[in-house]
Amino acid sequence: MIDSKQASAALAEIDDIVQRVKQSQLYELASLAAIWWGVLVFAGNVVTWLWPYYAVYAWPAVDILGVGGLVAIRLLSPPHVQGAAFDIRLVLVFVLFFAFGYICTNMLGHFGPRQLGAFWPIYFMLFYTLAGLWFGTAFVAIGLGIIALTLIGFFWIGEAFPLWMAFVNGGGLILGGLWMRRI
């Protein structure tokens, strides 16, 4: 025999576990995406550090492989982690993200390599952090951590800034992704 209070508590428990299942599925996908982007960003920064001339080719390649990888992760994931059906608005999000970044860095301002190296991670991590306000504190922690370390590198690390960013941004995403899998 249970009363309405106990029934409400049982339903609240069900809601809680359903939310946790959904968050766990989201973290599973997000961790793969973070690790993939981390590897690419690490490689992009190492190329920029070792062969600055080729950075102009490396970063578009990182972006294309990064977005392509996200689509592949989404399509190859088992059904229980895929969540909602593919939404064309996700593509639009990336188009708007890169278009706005391009307008800021090339039209409103003319950013040099160092400014570009700081702007894109901060800009990307801003959205990551904002998403975390809805999807889970792991996103917020990873986003704010990488933004803070990027700013430290921008102001205090000299010529080795791309190498710093390889470890901070690339390494941060890889570690963040691995951490998400353990939550």
Residues that bind another protein (CB under 8 A): 1-4, 7-8, 10-11, 13-14, 17-18, 20-22, 24, 78-80
18 vs 103, beta carbon nearer another protein:
18
8 vs 106, beta carbon nearer another protein:
8
20 vs 50, beta carbon nearer another protein:
20
Shortest distance, position 12 Cβ to another protein, whole Å: 10
Shortest distance, position 1 Cβ to another protein, whole Å: 6
9 vs 72, beta carbon nearer another protein:
9
Q: Under a CB-based contact definition with an 8 Å cutoff, are residues 44 and 158 in contact?
A: no
Task: Scan for tokens 């188009």, then name that residue.
Answer: 95
Token pair recorded at residue 172: 């941060």
- d(CA 74, CA 100) in angstroms, rounded, equals 25
Shortest distance, position 14 Cβ to another protein, whole Å: 4
- Nearest alpha carbon to residue 142 among 10, 33, 46, 16: 33
Shortest distance, position 28 Cβ to another protein, whole Å: 9
Which residues neighbour 178 within 8 Å (Cβ) at sequence distance 6 or greater? 31, 35
- d(CA 162, CA 155) in angstroms, rounded, equals 13
